[in-house]
Amino acid sequence: MQTASVHGMWSSRLMFIMAATGSAVGLGNIWRFPYITSDNGGGAFVLVYLACILLVGLPILFSEIIIGRRGRMSPINSLRELARDSGASRAWMGLGWMGVIAGFLILSFYSVVAGWTLHYAWLYFKQLFLGAEAIADPGATFGALLANPGELIFWHGVFMVMTVSVVALGVEKGLERAVSILMPMLFVLLLVLLGYAMTTGHFGEAVGFLFKPDWSSVNGGMIVTAMGQAFFTLSLGMCAIMAYGAYLPSDVNIPRVGVAVAATDTSVALIAGLAIFPIAISFGIDPEGGGAGFIFTSLPLAFNEMTWGIAYGMAFFLLLSVAAWTSSISLLEPPTAYFVESSNLSRRTIALIIAALTWAMGLASVFSLNIWSEVTIGGKDIMSAIEYVAADIMLPVGGLLIAIFAGWVLSNRITRTELDENMPSWAYSTWLWITRVFTPLMILVVIGGILGVF
Ligand code: PHE
């Protein structure tokens, strides 16, 4: 058994928690969770999402860390080696490749949305220091941004350069430093926003919308989206957490760090929801059907009203960009680590090539917002179609295979040692059977349902 990875190691348990939380917490929590909750009718969606985090997300989160730490290599090579040692087929490395493709597709649109947040940070900076006018009509401001391919491509490019520069530096120098300072700051800012939301007089209404289930809104499509969001928000199903698990010191207790990461990620999403919905309602914005621009068209209204609102708006969008940054790093790390192991090129060159390809792919999402807005795939514009296929379909399918690999391919001796040798038998058996049977079945039923197999 290898005890260290060639790519470096996290310097402590806390560093892994920070990095994995940095990967998990991002646009998924603050941009995607509010907007798809809004589009899916609130309460019932949130409860299905929470159930998916617990019953599907957590067991797979453990599985990814186990596989990563046991393999100590990039996901593709870890899966290949572990499959070989277990007498299973080399074809399991295909799971790693599928993760690379899912990550490539996700990063392609993710960096476009991260570009929006950078643009907004810049808008507030201009207001604060250069005397630019306030965002009087946020809907119009957002619309103008989407209509401008040049602007979108510029910010999308800036974000990609940020991502590649961290990945190029490697684990200790790049990833750790970026996450440890900025994540806690975003959390504090969200709490301030929550405090403001509580003063709007619409907090109770928002709580009702978010948590009072209207079961009539439950349908197959909504359940697929809720499960997809559970995967997306925890960075699961594409081997990002597996890649980070490879740098986790051997003596760290996996269930404990796994629960810490999932709990933090879920709290951030819920706090974001509790902050954003009261604000939207108080400015007369319908909490339902907000669409992908939801936070960009609602929050600026509050920033206009708040004391120090403009400085606050700048800090908010800047830190949201940072949260997106610590997530995008983990989307780029698995393929980069693989090619570092399997080619003679330097980490820098590899990261740069993959980022350039992803940036080019992102142009499809950029143009789908303006010059190609008429083009649809299965009734969705190009960007939404990529988001749907990668997040809602590919991640759960990846998660299904990861659960099968951890539950059935790896021996019980291995998974038990990695999880926690001193774990009571009942706790281990519970994890094992949930991972072996329950989680795969849930995913099969949901994905099978949407693909029309059932
Ligand atoms: N979890 C990230 C977010 O919520 C997105 C992500 C998905 C990152 C998959 C890595 C892998 O923003």
Q: Are 246 and 73 in contact (CB under 8 A)?
A: yes
Q: Which of 327, 328, 331, 397 to mutate to test the pocket of ligand 1 (most atoms within 8 A of CB)?
A: 327
> Does 114 contact ligand 1 (Cβ within 6 A)?
no
Ligand 1 centroid to Cα of residue 24, in Å, is: 5
Contact criterion met (CB below 8 Å) for 210 and 273: yes
From the CA of 287, how far away is ligand 1's center (Å)? 24
Beta bridge partner(s), residue 380: 377
Q: What torsion, rounded to 10 degrees, do the Cα atoms 20, 259, 252, 241 define?
A: -30
Q: Does domain 13-451 have CATH number 1.20.1740?
A: yes
Half-sphere exposure of 268 (CA within 13 A, CB side): 28
Angle, vertex CA 220, rays to CA 23 and CA 273, nearest 5: 45
347 CB burial (10 A radius; 0-12, 13-18, 19+): middle
Q: What's at 9, amino acid-wise? A: M
CB contact set of 290 (below 8 Å; sequence gap of 6+): 34, 35, 38, 39, 280, 297, 298
List all residues 6 or more positions away from 421 whose beta carbon is below 8 Å from its beta carbon: none
Distance CA 78, CA 367 (A): 37
pLDDT confidence bin for 7, thresholds 50/70/90: confident
What is d(CA 237, CA 96) in angstroms, rounded to the nearest whole number?
A: 10
Ligand 1, atom nearest to 234 Cα: 1
Which is the closest atom of ligand 1 to the Cα of 328? Answer: 8
pLDDT at position 335 over 70: yes
Atom of ligand 1 nearest to the CA of 237: 9
Pocket test for ligand 1, best of 233, 236, 386 (most atoms within 8 A of CB): 233
Lowest mean pLDDT among 80-84, 165-169, 340-344, 446-450: 446-450
272 lines ligand 1 (CB under 6 A): no
Please tell me what DSSP assigns to residue 8.
Answer: -
Q: How far is the CA of 14 from the centre of ligand 1 (A)?
A: 20
DSSP letter at 172 equals I
d(CA 27, CA 355): 19
* CA dist., res. 53 & res. 268, Å (int): 14
Mean of pLDDT over the chain: 91
3-state secondary structure of 381: strand
**Segment 163-183 mean pLDDT:** 76
Query: How far, in Å, CA of 354 to CA of 335, rounded?
Result: 8
Our measurement of the distance from residue 310's CA atom to the centroid of its chain's CA atoms, rounded to an integer in Å, reads 27
Q: Is 389 exposed, middle or buried (0-12, 13-18, 19+ CB in 10 A)?
A: middle
> How far is ligand 1, taken at its centre, from the CA of residue 109, in Å?
12
Give the pLDDT score at 306. Answer: 83
Mean of pLDDT values over 178-203: 85
Phi, psi for residue 346 in degrees, rounded to 5: -80, 160
pLDDT band at 175 (very low <50, low <70, confident <90, very high): low
Q: Which ligand 1 atom sits nearest the alpha carbon of residue 29?
A: 4
Residue 23 in contact with ligand 1 by CB distance below 6 A: yes
Label residue 145 by pLDDT band (50, 70, 90).
Answer: very high
CB 191 within 8 A of CB 271: yes
Domain ranges (residues) in the chain: 13-451
Query: Rounded CA gap, 331 and 183, in Å?
Result: 18
Q: Quick one: tokens of 208?
A: 């009702």
Q: What is the pTM of this model?
A: 0.93
pLDDT confidence of 56, banded at 50, 70, 90?
very high
Share of the chain above pLDDT 70, in %: 97
d(CA 107, CA 160): 9
241-294 per-position pLDDT tens digit: 999 999 999 889 999 999 999 999 999 999 999 999 999 898 888 888 888 999
- By most ligand atoms within 8 Å of CB, the mutation choice from 235, 264, 268, 386 for ligand 1 is 235
| Between residues 13 and 451, the one the model is more confident about | 13
Q: Are 79 and 67 in contact (CB under 8 A)?
A: yes
**Residue whose CA lies nearest to ligand 1 atom number 7:** 235
Residue 174 — pLDDT band, cuts 50, 70, 90?
low
For range 371-385, the mean pLDDT: 92
User: CA nearest 230: which of 32, 364, 4, 369?
Assistant: 32
3-class SS of residue 433: helix
Q: How far is the CA of 315 from the centre of ligand 1 (A)?
A: 21
Closest residue to atom 11 of ligand 1, CA basis = 235
